[in-house]
């Protein structure tokens, strides 16, 4: 079930979460035992440190440029680009510049 978002109306995902200086902001849209959908904004230089997920994680950058380190390999993604981070593989996310992303985790 979707939450925290208007239904039956056109939206722009990157407008659903704002930038805040010195912070990573998240807004959960779906959370259950099969899938999680969250949008994030990262201020430049902010990060989520290395961790692993219990499901495959698909990220799509909605605005700006983010740096994703997956299993030791670094990927720079810009608006419109997508990366899949495999289940149980360590990954980290860093604001190369201010950026927003959509995260979908399938368990």
Residue-range domains of the chain with CATH: 24-106 (2.60.120.10)
Please provide residue 15's backbone torsions phi and psi, each rounded to the nearest 5 degrees.
-85, -5
1 has pLDDT over 90:
no
Q: Tell me, what's the pLDDT at 33?
A: 95
pLDDT band, residue 67 (cuts 50/70/90): very high
105 has pLDDT over 90:
yes
pLDDT by residue (tens digit) across 31-59? 999 999 999 999 999 999 999 999 999 99
CB 68 within 8 A of CB 22: no
Q: Tell me, what's the pLDDT at 62?
A: 98
Q: Is the model more confident about 76 or about 6?
A: 76
pLDDT band, residue 6 (cuts 50/70/90): confident
Alpha carbons 12 and 33: distance in angstroms, whole number: 26
């Amino acid at each position: 079930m979707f939450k925290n978002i208007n239904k039956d109306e056109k939206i722009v995902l990157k407008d659903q979460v704002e930038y805040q200086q010195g912070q990573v902001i998240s807004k959960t849209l779906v959370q259950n035992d099969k899938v999680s959908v969250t949008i994030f904004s990262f201020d430049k230089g902010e990060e989520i440190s290395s961790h692993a997920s219990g499901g495959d994680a698909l990220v799509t950058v909605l605005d700006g440029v983010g740096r994703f380190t997956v299993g030791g390999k670094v990927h720079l993604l810009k608006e419109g680009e997508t990366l899949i981070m495999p289940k149980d593989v360590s990954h980290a996310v860093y604001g190369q510049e201010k950026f927003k992303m959509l995260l979908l985790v399938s368990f």
